[in-house]
Amino acid sequence: MVNIRNQSRFFHAHWGKKATSSGIIESIVAVPDGFSMEGKNFIALWKDDNPVAVLDFLVGYPNPNCLWVGLLLVHGLQKGKSIGTEIVNAVITTTKTAGMKDITLGVIATNTRGIDFWRKIGFVQTGVSNTTLRGEDLEILIFKRTA
Ligand SMILES: CC(C)(COP(=O)(O)OP(=O)(O)OC[C@H]1O[C@@H](n2cnc3c(N)ncnc32)[C@H](O)[C@@H]1OP(=O)(O)O)[C@@H](O)C(=O)NCCC(=O)NCCS
């Protein structure tokens, strides 16, 4: 995970420092206030001993019919090979199998490449939210898709 995160130019631009194991562990256990850890999932995908992608999602957030994608990050050397699309397709299948209706996520408004990706695979912007992360004010675009 540290390896994948340090490959990301987008993360460097926003957080400006290298990932640390303790910072990553914080991400792995982070849940919204009042949300049970039971619904938290953090998956690392590997191929031939190399890290390929990480996916973080919450089952039943922000409502019981919804799966929330907290992070999808494909290793810099693996981008553009349809890995992100395949992962999202698996998320869609998982959502349907679990009997849930929607998939939602937030993308930082300056992440134009990420926004293009989600639009291309059928996600539609449904709102905007403002937050402060590590002292930085961020505008977050909320995207949604029916599974
Ligand atoms: C966004 C991200 C997950 C896409 O994963 P990926 O495996 O590279 O995407 P895919 O190869 O499946 O691409 C699917 C389509 O989206 C488009 N796309 C993907 N990444 C893109 C990018 N960075 N810029 C522009 N378009 C992009 C591709 O053109 C592709 O369309 P095509 O098949 O017609 O060529 C990956 O680039 C990434 O990890 N980005 C940094 C983190 C991030 O922004 N995550 C999303 C917010 S949580």
Regarding the beta carbon of 142 and ligand 1, being less than 6 Å apart is answered no
Distance 73 CA to ligand 1 centre (A): 9
- Bridge partners of residue 141, in order along the sequence: 107, 128
The model's confidence at residue 117, banded by pLDDT at 50, 70 and 90, is very high
Cβ proximity of 69 and 104 under 8 Å: yes
Output the pTM of the full model: 0.85
What CA–CA distance (Å, rounded) separates 46 from 85? 16
What CA–CA distance (Å, rounded) separates 56 from 30? 10
Distance 55 CA to ligand 1 centre (A): 14
Percent of the chain with pLDDT over 90: 65
Instruction: Return the residue whose CA atom lies nearest to atom 24 of ligand 1.
Output: 113
The model's confidence at residue 120, banded by pLDDT at 50, 70 and 90, is very high
Triad 91, 121, 79: Cα angle to 5°: 80
145 has pLDDT over 90: yes
The CATH architecture one would assign to domain 2-146 is: 3-Layer(aba) Sandwich (3.40)
Cβ proximity of 55 and 91 under 8 Å: yes
What CA–CA distance (Å, rounded) separates 9 from 35? 30
The 10s digit of each residue's pLDDT in 80-100 is: 999 999 999 999 999 999 899
Write down the residue that tokens 């698996």 correspond to. Answer: 90
Residue that wins the pLDDT comparison between 34 and 5: 34
The model's confidence at residue 5, banded by pLDDT at 50, 70 and 90, is low
The token pair that represents 38 in the structure block: 């039971």
Determine the length of the chain: 147
Q: Which residues of 23-34 are buried (b: 16+ CB within 10 A; e: fewer)?
A: beeeeeeeeeee
Residue that wins the pLDDT comparison between 120 and 21: 120
14 has pLDDT over 60: no
Q: What is the mean pLDDT of the chain?
A: 87
Domain map of the chain by residue range? Answer: 2-146
